[in-house]
Amino acid sequence: MFKIFAIIMLINNLNCRGEIGRVLKYYETLTRNDFTLEKISRTKRQTESPTFSQKLNIRLFGKNLQLHVNPEKNVMSKDFQSFVKSTKHFEEKYIEHPKFYKGYVKGLKKSTVRIHFIANDVFAAIDLPEEHIFIEPSWKFLPLSSNYSLIAYRTSQLSSTDRLKCGFVDPNLAEEPKNQHVQTHRAKRNTIANRVCKLLLVADYKYFVEVGKKSFSETVNNMISKITEVDAIYRATDFRNGYKNIGFEIQTVVVHDEFTKNSGENHYNKDKSNWTAKELLRAFGSDKSLKHENYCAAHLFTATKFSDGIQGVAWIAKSGAVGGICAPGSGSTKYNTGWSTAIDKYGNRILTFESILVAAHELGHNFGSQHDPPSCATDKNNLFLMYTYAVSGKQSNNQKFSQCSIDHISKVLNSRGSSCLKEPSTSFCGNYKKEDGEDCDVGNVADDKCCTTNCKFKTNAVCSDRNSPCCFECTYANSSVKCLDQSNVLNCKKNSFCTGKSPECPDPKFEVDGSSCIDSGKCKKGSCQPFCESLNKNSASCLCANENSCSICCSVNNGTCEVHRENGKKLLLSDGRPCFEGICEKGICQKTKPVVNKLWDILKKLSVNDIIEFFKKNLVLMVIIFFSVIYIPITIIISCIDYKRKEDEKSHRRWKYEMPNQIFLSNSDKLTIKATRSKRRDNYMVKKDEENQKIKKEKVSKQRNKVHPSNTNYNI
């Protein structure tokens, strides 16, 4: 029995790995713990909200990457709503918003990092100068394991995507309703930059089961993550004529948690497997309850298999014609719609990255782009996003619009962009700032006792300790709590105390007019008037010279600077105020001491205890200094010894190779001949030996002549 079970598990494991093997040539596995963010810095908590910078160290494909990220606004509109829909009910349901971070890879210019944390799942996109890495949950493709929960892959390792194609292979599929026109408004240049297309996203029951694991939150957040990546593709595109930074915002999400039953019409959420691409598109656009006309575009996410390999279909926008973004539709059908499926023609799940490209492609049709003709492809192996067959993303152009697509989209934006696209939401939950529509905002603090991650108060909480100065343990602080201390400021305002009825600190009350403030000034309506101005509107404070440098001086009508006296006495500036030659101390202008003198004064005041305390507080620094004091001299000494040893070796070699030559050379030769250890030297020595032998023979011959002179005469 155990063997049978093991065989079944092995077959299942091979099937799972075979499924991903058809899509990826190589991938790596990770765990959720590999994506633990570490705080780099945090500003001290004040009345203003703090900001964070976080990092993540991760090893991918043989490289150690340090990711630096910050909380970032996601693509959810400020009036975002999510609904669950079944045959009997249609109700709003809140979800825990995904935590979205954006940043870069440390040390790599032109790198971008986007991370989505969704419950226990992670979606991440890492754009490097020469590579694109994507990370997603592994449960879609691999058997469950305690050793991993995520897969990471490079887009260059994606297999061919000829199994994926768009429904508009035949242009006749994009039938345009006749005699219908969109009201257009030609926009002036630069008037629709940084605008967004408000989206309605719908997940049918198949998508809810196959991709969302029957979890409402998982399904919604999965769609949000995909549109976030689609948004990045569009914002990186310059559609010309001032149409830059055009993106998306999700306004409404609808999730079906069961098939739609007992519906006389051909409902898009019926339990039906033999849909045609165009039939499903029309069915989705015919559901009046969705109110497609309230949105820029509506997109259906499904997990339906199409035997012809179609992954998506959408209505194409054209300037002045009904269809695409903000199209009102004709009769019962709306034409600002499209759909994409997460299942290929073999019934296998496609990668999230592929699904993102398909959704971006179909929304490209909604924006007015046709399929790219062959003439638009600069490289047949590096096709653009709007190619007829879905691109894999492995090439640099796969995530870009071609110039042909940009031309088409630019015309549509120019005709209807100003009325269709909207201003983006500026506030977002998770940036530590309480903004419109939020009860509170504590950023990425998951266990805050007052505030949820959706920026709403928890049960029984009326305020947030992190966002409000007069909030204590999620309720209003009592009236004895001082929330603003002005005791050391002398700025004509009193201390502020909480009211016990509000989380905010009330504005401080003013001191009584005429009260003393900075440098003998007088309070007036909460502001400190300088002393001279409080006496005369036409007077102003000035600096006197010499012995009056530290006296309060006022300019008189003729512009001269005079010492002010009260009852015949001069009023002095407070200690520390600047004077002509330095700083005032007890009414005397003390010249600023040179830095050396100041340092000596500090050293004279130091005691042994002060030095010991300083060492304790700066132990690491002292250790570094101590070892530097030892290390540097030792290094210098060793260097000197090495230098001397090298010089000795040179001297020894000189004696060894040069001195023997000098034995056979005259003084004149010594001045002109240099000893070497080369072949030239050897030839020279041989020649010298021959010359020496010749000289020696001549000497011997002369000696013989001297010894036998008769013989010499005889021979002659």
Distance CA 689, CA 684 (A): 9
Q: What is the CA radius of gyration of the chain?
A: 43
Q: H/E element holding 456?
A: none
Q: Please check whether residue 430 is in contact with residue 442, taking contact to mean a CB–CB distance below 8 angstroms.
A: no
Distance CA 256, CA 359 (A): 19
Binding residue per annotation — 365? yes
What distance in Å separates the CA atoms of residue 167 and residue 275, rounded to the nearest whole number? 13
Which candidate in 362, 504, 691, 698 is catalytic?
Answer: 362
Let me know the angle formed at the C-alpha of 251 by 389 and 78, rounded to the nearest 5 degrees: 135
Which amino acid would we find at residue 561?
C
| Distance set, CA 612 to CA 608, 617, 619, 629 (Å) | 6, 9, 10, 19
The count of residues in the chain is: 716
Q: Provide the greatest CA pair distance for the chain.
A: 155
361 is in an annotated binding site: yes
Nearest partner of 341 among 265, 261, 259, 280, judged by Cα: 280
Annotated ligand binding at 371? The verdict is yes
User: Which tokens in the block code for residue 290?
Assistant: 């969705």
Strand, helix or coil at 356?
helix
Helix, strand and coil content of the chain, in percent to the nearest 5, comes to 35, 25, 45
Backbone φ and ψ of 90, nearest 5°: -145, 95
**HSE of 285, CA atoms in CB hemisphere, 13 A:** 27
Rounded CA separation 385/392 (Å): 9
Angle at 166 between CA 164 and CA 169, to 5 degrees: 120
362 as an active site residue: the answer is yes
Could you give the C-alpha distances from 133 to 28, 160, 643, in angstroms and in order?
11, 17, 53
SS3 58: strand
Residues that constitute the known binding site: 361, 365, 371
Which residues are annotated binding-site positions for Zn(2+)? 361, 365, 371
Please give the positions annotated as active site. Answer: 362
